[in-house]
Amino acid sequence: MTRLDLARFPRLPFLAQPTPIEPLDGLMRHLGAALNGVRIFVKRDDVAGIGLGGNKLRKLEYLLGAAKAEGADTAITVGAIQSNHARLTAAASAQAGLACELFLTRSVPRQDPDYTGNGNRLLDDVFGATVHELPGEADSLAAAEARAAELKAEGRHAYVFPSGGSSPTGCLGYANAASEILAQAEAMGLTFAQIITANGSAGTHAGLVAGLAAMGLDPVLAKSFAVLAEENRARAEVLEKANATLALIGAERRVSPDDINLDGRHRGPGYGIPTEGMLEAVRLVARTEGKLLDPVYSGKAFAGLLHDVRAGLYPSGSSVLFLMTGGTPGVFAYKDTLAGRGA
């Protein structure tokens, strides 16, 4: 099988690779016959040595690698108040010796102290980032670009990247992960019927699609559950970013809408708003495995996985792989919801 070679792209090592792939034995014992003979594995991209871990580190390896290569002294990015990406950008920038500025929007209709000052938002300050808070409707990327221009006028050099680190350069992280997963599966004697992830800013899914396509494999092996944009918009974003990543890699192949395997049915009322399926998934994995899904991304995506398995989507005896993408600090921003005390 062809492996992906991305060695020509600058990269900083933030995530110990390969991250482990583990069976969810406790969960499978608990679910029993409801699984219809399907085996569930997780890839532990939530495990890392800096910033409490998470999938954004794969993107940041290439984003901050590019920033350092072009002589930047500051990293600037955007996200919501409880952005995992922002928290990890702050942590990775600290390790890389870069200043960090974050432009965070109030995208979720909550003003309580748990949401506005705990979890990821607390850690942004602990990791030393300069935080600019904006209204939910603000164009945070435009504000970030304007700040970069101010820094340039002062003789500084800022490297700006979008929400979730989901630029073509950032998506290289999950193109590389696709190759890593296939090598691990081969070594473990496994064939995965599906690789499943949450879809926020579309970069994780787009990177997986690009990596699979560049290696000559079927991109529909990667499936995501939308948690931010509605289904049609999320699908279009994955398609656009996957093709931009393929162009950056230098692959001849491009993907079509039929190559994008995406489900928007478990998003609920909107980004960051809890659902019953998410609550079940977070509690079930915590109480059978001692592992934490986050309430914004992986909790909703795992709810989608559980739905599909229970509905018999996968043949008996097949194996599916779920990406544990981190987001643990977000649990503390949703403590009342998770404890059963309301939103």
What local confidence, expressed as pLDDT, does residue 240 receive? 98
**CA gap 103, 129 in Å, rounded:** 10
Q: Name residue 84's beta-bridge partners.
A: none
Beta strands in the chain (DSSP E): 21-23, 39-44, 74-80, 99-105, 130-134, 158-161, 192-199, 222-226, 261-263, 319-324
pLDDT given at position 341: 63
The 10 Å Cβ neighbour count of residue 157 is 13
Q: Which residues are catalytic?
A: 83
What the chain holds in terms of domains, given with CATH numbers, is 21-53+167-338 (3.40.50.1100), 57-165 (3.40.50.1100)
- pLDDT tens for residues 122-148? 999 999 999 999 999 999 999 999 999
Report the pLDDT value the prediction gives residue 195, as an integer from 0 to 100: 98
pLDDT tens digit sequence for 78-93:
999 999 999 999 999 9
Q: Which of 42, 12, 8, 13 is CA-nearest to residue 26?
A: 42
Is there a contact between 126 and 88 (Cβ–Cβ < 8 Å)? no
Q: pLDDT tens across 102-126, in order?
A: 999 998 999 999 999 999 999 999 9
